């Protein structure tokens, strides 16, 4: 059965922002993030008829995106950029304190063990519920809630330590 363009377009419109946010979080490169999202859509289109439960679409798309991200590094090594001469434009989106806090939080999240990092990123960046995270990671809802609680506690501790430094 071939997917109908209108149903697929509706799916794309509904989850585009979530996929974009998650892909940027994963690869930290907007251009690569766009490519990942496009590859995700292509793979999703090809296997759209296998999606049985519309309620599982977000988790399904996130899984495709995660696998596509992993495949990216199997196929090619990303170009490295010399950052010594790199000028970063001022976006004017916040105060230096806000930017510093965001960097500290992001750094603390990246320092978490994967066991805690994945659920917190899926919740905060992608906006997934505990049930969706449990499905995505193959865990029970209570395990996800425990990991999220512990992740938040570890982040609080890391941020308190960073503020003392």
Give me the pLDDT at residue 140, please. Answer: 93
Half-sphere exposure at residue 102, Cβ-oriented, CA atoms within 13 angstroms: 8
| 55-67 mean pLDDT | 87
State the helix-helix crossing angle for 130-137 and 57-75, rounded to 10 degrees: 40
Q: 69, 13, 79: which is closest to 43 by C-alpha?
A: 69
Q: How confident is the model at residue 90 (pLDDT cuts 50, 70, 90)?
A: low
Q: How many CB atoms are located within 10 Å of the residue 81 CB?
A: 9
Average pLDDT (76-85) is 57
Asked if residues 148 and 113 have their Cβ atoms less than 8 Å apart, the reply is no
> Which helix or strand (DSSP H or E) is residue 62 part of?
helix 57-75
- Chain segment 147-160, per-residue pLDDT in tens: 999 999 998 888 88
Q: Which domains does the chain have, with CATH numbers?
A: 1-80 (1.10.1740.10), 94-165 (1.10.10.10)
pLDDT-above-70 percentage for the chain: 81
| Weakest mean pLDDT among 68-72, 75-79, 120-124 | 75-79
The predicted model gives 40-48 an average pLDDT of: 88
Task: Specify the residue for token string 């750094």.
Answer: 107
What is the Cα–Cα distance from 34 to 68, expressed in whole angstroms? 12
The rounded distance, in Å, linking the Cα atoms of 144 and 129 is 10
- Alpha-carbon span 123 to 68, nearest angstrom: 20
- In this predicted structure, which of 17-21, 30-34, 56-60 has the lowest mean pLDDT? 56-60
Q: Is the confidence at residue 51, as pLDDT, over 60?
A: yes
As a whole number, the mean pLDDT across the chain is 82
């Amino acid at each position: 059965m071939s997917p109908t363009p209108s149903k697929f377009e509706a799916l794309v419109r509904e989850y585009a922002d979530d996929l974009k946010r998650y892909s940027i979080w994963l690869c930290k490169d907007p251009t690569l993030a766009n490519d990942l999202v496009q590859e995700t859509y292509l793979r999703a289109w090809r296997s759209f008829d296998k999606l049985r439960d519309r309620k599982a679409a977000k988790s399904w798309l996130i899984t495709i995106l995660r696998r596509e991200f992993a495949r990216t590094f199997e196929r090619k090594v990303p170009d490295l950029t010399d950052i010594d001469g790199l000028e970063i434009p001022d976006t004017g989106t916040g105060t230096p304190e806000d930017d510093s806090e965001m960097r500290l939080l992001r750094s603390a999240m990246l320092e978490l063990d994967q066991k805690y990092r994945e659920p917190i990123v899926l919740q905060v960046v992608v906006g997934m519920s505990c049930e969706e995270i449990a499905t995505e990671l193959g865990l029970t809802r209570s395990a996800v809630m425990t990991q999220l609680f512990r992740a938040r506690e570890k982040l609080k501790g890391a941020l308190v330590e960073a503020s003392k430094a």
